[in-house]
Structure 1
Amino acid sequence: MIHLSAFADEISSDLDEQIAVLQSERIRYIDLRSVWGVNVLDLSDQQVITVKQKLEDQNIKVAAVGSPIGKVPLDSSFEEHLQRFERALVVAKMLGTSYIRLFSFYPPQNGEVDSASYREQVIQHLREMTAHARAANLVLLHENEKGIYGDTIDHCVDLLQSINDKYFRAAFDPANFLQCNQTPYPDAYTALQPWLEYVHVKDVRSDGTLVVAGEGGAHWLELLQQLRQDGYDGFFALEPHLAAAGQYQGFSGPDLFRSASQALQKLLQQIGWKYD
C-alpha cells in the first residue's frame, strides 16, 4: 500500500503545529527537513530524540530525512560536506528511517558551465557517499532539482546508470522537471521508472505559479494511474511550496498545506487507490 508523507516544515516551524495539521489530514509520515527553524542535520542528538518521541506519541513515523546534502557548489570542500553527510546517516538511524534525500551538486563557483567537464567529479562524490550509505544500510534518494547536475532527464539517468547501486535511487519530482523545461510525464517518468523509489508531490503552471497537484502541467492524474499500473508501493511526500519557494525549503502554511493534501487525496480517491 502507498503511504502519504509531508515536508511538514511547509506547515509551520513549530513541531506541535506540524503534528496537529498532519493528524487533521490523516497523514502518518513525515519527511523531516527542519524543526523550530533548525535544519534536521543541525539538530542536537537530544533534539532528534525529542522530535522522534513527540512523533511516536502521535503515531507518526519519519519516512525520510530531507537533507540538503549535495546542495553546495562542486568545488566547495568535499571533506567538510562528507562530514555533514555522515551526520545525515546518524540522524536517519536515530529517526528510524531508511531514506535520505540528497542532491547532485551545483556547478563549480569558478564559472565552469560545461557540465561534461565536471560530470566525473559529481559521480565520484556520489559514489563515495553511496558507499557510506551502503555500509549503513541506508538508501540515498536523488531529487531532480533545478540548477544541480541532475536537473534534466538525461543527467538523472546518467547518474543512476553510472552509480548503478540499489542504495542510490530516484526521488521523482514532476514539478522540478517542469521548471527545467522537461516533460515529467510520460518522458521523465518512463526514463526514471527503473530506479524510482520515492515521489514528491507539487505542481506548477506554465507561468511558474506553484499549485496543488492536478492544477498544473505535471499530469498528476495520468501519472498516478501509471504508477499504480506499474505497481508503485512507496511514499508520496507533499512538498507544495504554495506560499514561498526558497533555495533550501518552501512554505505553504497550514491552510494552503491542507489544500495541497486534500487535492492529492482527492486524486487518489478518484482512481480508487487506497493509501495510508
Structure 2
Amino acid sequence: MPVDPPPRALAGIGDEAATSVAGQIAAIQRLGWRHVELRSVDGTALADLTDAAFARVRTALRDAGLDVVCAASRIGNWARPVTAPFADDLHELDVLADRCGALGTRYVRIMSYPDGGLAPDDWRDRVLDRTARLAERAARRGVVLLHENCAGWAGADADRMRQLLDAADGLGLLFDTGNGVDHGYDAAELLPPLLPHVAHVHVKDAVGGPGQARYVLPGDGSARVADCLRLLLDSGYTGALSLEPHLATRPHDGVRAEDAEPFVRAGRRLEALLHELAGSVPA
C-alpha cells in the first residue's frame, strides 16, 4: 500500500547521480539517506522500462532498504506540448500507477504543457481539461499527481497554479526551489500563496538568467534556496526534500551523470543549510 515519506525525509532524484540503479543507490547511501525519487534508469524513463528491468530496479531498491518518495513522469513536460497525443499521457500514467503501487509511493510528478503553438485561451482550456482528466484517472488508480513549477502554462504563475488546482480535484503541487532562475521569476516570492498545497519539494540552485541558468551547490546561487526552505519549514511542511542539483545531469541538454561526486556534495550542502536553519529557530 503506498505510504507517505516520514516528516522531512531527505531524498534525491537518482539519475542526477548515476544512470544505473546500482550507482543511484550507492550515491544515496553515501549520504546516509534512505529515500530516492525515480525518473530514469540506464537512460530509460521509469514508464518505459520493460517489466523485467523494472523488477530488477524494484528488487535492488528493496535489498538496499531504500524507499521511493515520488515518480517523475514526462506528462506535460518541456518535450510534450499540449498538442501532443493525450493517449501518451494516459498510457504513461497507467504504467506509473502500477509501478508506484509496487514501489510503495503515491506521488507522480507532472508539468502543465508547452503551448504547441496554440492561442493563449486554447492553451489554457486544453491544459485545464487534460489535467482534470488526468487527476481523476490518477485518483481512481490510487496515486496523486503533483504539478511542478517548471515548463508549461502554470509553471511560473501562482494564480494559474491555483486555477489548475481548482480545475483538477486531488491535484497537489511540487515546488522546485531552483526553477525560477531559468524561467524568470523569484521562487521565494512565488511560494507563499502556494504553501498550503505543496506536497513535495525539489532542491536545486542556479545563477544566470532565463535560458542561461548555470547550476551550483544549494545556497551558492540566486534562487534563494534558504529563504524557500525557511518558508516551507515555518509553514509546517512535512514532506520530502528531494535533491535535484543538475550539476552532472541536465535532461534538457541530454547530459547524464557519470560522476556521483557533485550530487553527493550537493547533498552535504543541503544538510548544512538545514542545520543552519534549525539553529536559527528561536528557543
* Fold equivalence (TM over 0.5): yes
Distance in 2 between residues matched to 1:231 and 1:201, nearest whole Å = 17
Cα deviation, 1:231-273, whole Å, max 9, x if unaligned, reads 1110111111113423287645311101110110001111238
TM-score normalised according to structure 1 size: 0.90
Partner residue of 1:104?
112
CA contact (8 A) 1:31 1:63 kept: yes
Partner residue of 1:11?
17
Tell me whether 49-58 or 239-248 shows the greater mean CA deviation. 239-248
Count of aligned residue pairs for this structure pair: 266
Q: 2:230 aligns with which of 202, 225, 231?
A: 225
Partner residue of 1:25?
31
CA contact (8 A) 2:204 2:225 kept: no
Shift of 1:79: 2.4
Counterpart of 1:204, as a letter, is A
Shift of 1:201: 0.5
Distance in 2 between residues matched to 1:51 and 1:197, nearest whole Å = 25
Q: 1:209 aligns with which of 207, 214, 225?
A: 214
Counterpart of 2:252, as a letter, is Q
CA contact (8 A) 1:239 1:250 kept: no
Q: What's the secondary structure of 1:271's corresponding residue?
A: helix
Coordinate RMSD, CA, aligned:
1.8
Structure 1 residues 56, 47: closer, same or farther in 2, change over 3 A?
A: same
User: Identity over the aligned pairs, expressed in percent?
Assistant: 29
Q: What's the secondary structure of 2:191's corresponding residue?
A: helix
CA contact (8 A) 1:177 1:184 kept: yes
Distance in 2 between residues matched to 1:152 and 1:18, nearest whole Å = 30
Tell me whether 224-233 or 125-134 shows the greater mean CA deviation. 224-233
Structure 2's unaligned 5+ residue stretches are 1-6
Partner residue of 1:150?
154
Tell me whether 217-226 or 51-60 shows the greater mean CA deviation. 217-226
Structure 1's unaligned 5+ residue stretches are none
CA contact (8 A) 2:195 2:232 kept: no
Partner residue of 2:3?
none
Q: Is 1:78–2:54 an aligned residue pair?
A: no
Q: What's the secondary structure of 2:178's corresponding residue?
A: helix
Partner residue of 2:103?
95
Partner residue of 2:269?
263
Cα deviation, 1:152-199, whole Å, max 9, x if unaligned, reads 123223212332x2x3100001211222211110x2111211211111
Partner residue of 2:186?
183
Structure 1 residues 139, 250: closer, same or farther in 2, change over 3 A?
A: farther
Q: What's the secondary structure of 2:102's corresponding residue?
A: helix
Q: 1:192 aligns with which of 185, 190, 194?
A: 194
Tell me whether 127-136 or 213-222 shows the greater mean CA deviation. 213-222
CA contact (8 A) 1:174 1:201 kept: yes
Shift of 1:78: 1.0
TM-score normalised according to structure 2 size: 0.88
